[in-house]
Amino acid sequence: MRIESKIGMALGALMLIALYFMPFWTIDMSAPQYPEGIGMYIHIDDVTGHKRHDLQNINTLNHYIGMAEIHRDDFPEFDIMPWIIGFLIAFGLLAAAVGSMKLVITWIVLMVILGIVGLVDFYMWGHEYGHNLSPDAPIRVPGMSYQPPLIGCKQLLNINACSWPYTGSIFIGLSMLMASGVVYYEKFKIKKD
């Protein structure tokens, strides 16, 4: 691997550091009584409200339809994810240092697999959260479940919920682009020359 490819790969891996500082997913909700909006951010190690007390208020609202409360400690993912990202950064740096194309491609495959696993996990949580309703819920609408959308918007009773990647995901994307760019550069560009 050329030196610029090594640098590119290293930068790509280091971009994942951003995930320790910003959320990578957001769920925005709007309702007539919430003109200012209410919502939550998902970080690799935490779930927080858009505003200071949003999470508490979401839990308050959700108890009416029997949804479980959301608490950070109920998600083992938040304890595992920082290590996984750390591993990916280290692996990426190693691939750059060694200059092995095999390692770079393995890294990209790992990223894709983990991304898919993450989305599946998110979907399964959403399904559980939206379907496992307390039988004592004050408001029960026959046939209604409250699974938030995996990606995109969905009307749930009075609330329009939207689920989108957030700033941290931009860095994941950039990171993937850098690594893919390195592969493209090394495999096709240089060979042609």
Partner 1 sequence: MKEQKSKTLRGFLFGAGFVAIAAFLFTGCPSQQGMMDTREAAQKVYVAPGEHDEYYGFFSGGYSGQLSVWGLPSSRLLKVIPVFSQDPESGYGYSEETKPLFETSYGFIPWDDSHHPHISQTDGDADGRWIFINANNTPRIARIDLKTFETKEILELPNTGGNHASSFVTSNTEYVIGGTRFSIPYEADLDVPIDSYSDEFRGALSFVAVDQETGMMDLDFQIVVPPYNYDLGRAGKGPSADWVFFTTYNTEEAHTMLEVNASRYDKDFIAAVNWRKAAELVEQGHGRTVSAEYYHNYYEGNQGYAINDIKDQVTILDTREIDENFIYYLPTPKSPHGVDVDPTGEYIVGGGKLATVIPVHSFSRMLEAIDNNEVEEVIDGIPVLNYDATIAGEVENPGLGPLHTEFDGRGYAYTSVYISSEIVKWSLETFEVVDRIDAYYSIGHLMITGGDTKNPDARYMVGLTKTAKDRYLPTGPKQNHPAQLYDISGDRMELLLDFPTIGEPHYAQAIRADKIVDQVAQIYEMEENDHPDALLRIADNRVERDGNTVHVYMGSTRSHFRPDNIEGIRVGDTVYIHLTNLEQEWDVVHGIAVKGANNAEILVAPGQTKTLKWEPTRTGIYPFYCTAFCSALHQEMQGYIRVSAEDSDVELAWRTGTD
Write down the least CB distance from residue 63 to partner 1, Å: 8
Binding-site string for partner 1 from residue 84 to residue 123, where x marks contact by CB under 8 A and - marks none: ----------------------------------------
Q: List C-alpha distances in Å: 44 to 58, 65, 83, 177.
A: 20, 28, 10, 21
49 or 181: CB nearest partner 1? 49
- 8 Å CB contact between 36 and 57: no
Angle 185-187-193 from CA coordinates, rounded to 5°:
75
| Residues 61-80 within binding reach of partner 1 (CB under 8 A) | 61, 64
- Distance between CA 188 and CA 104 in Å, rounded? 15
* CA atoms 60, 118, 163, 168: torsion sign: positive
HSE-up of residue 80 (Cα within 13 Å, Cβ side): 7
Quick one: which segment of 54-62, 118-126, 160-168, 174-182 binds partner 1 (CB under 8 A)?
A: 54-62
Write down the least CB distance from residue 40 to partner 1, Å: 15
Q: Is 56 in the site for partner 1 (CB under 8 A)?
A: yes
By CB under 8 A, how many residues form the interface with partner 1?
9
Quick one: which segment of 14-22, 53-61, 98-106, 161-169 binds partner 1 (CB under 8 A)?
A: 53-61
User: Which residue matches tokens 């750390």?
Assistant: 86
Contact residues: partner 1, CB under 8 A: 52-53, 56-57, 60-61, 64, 138-139
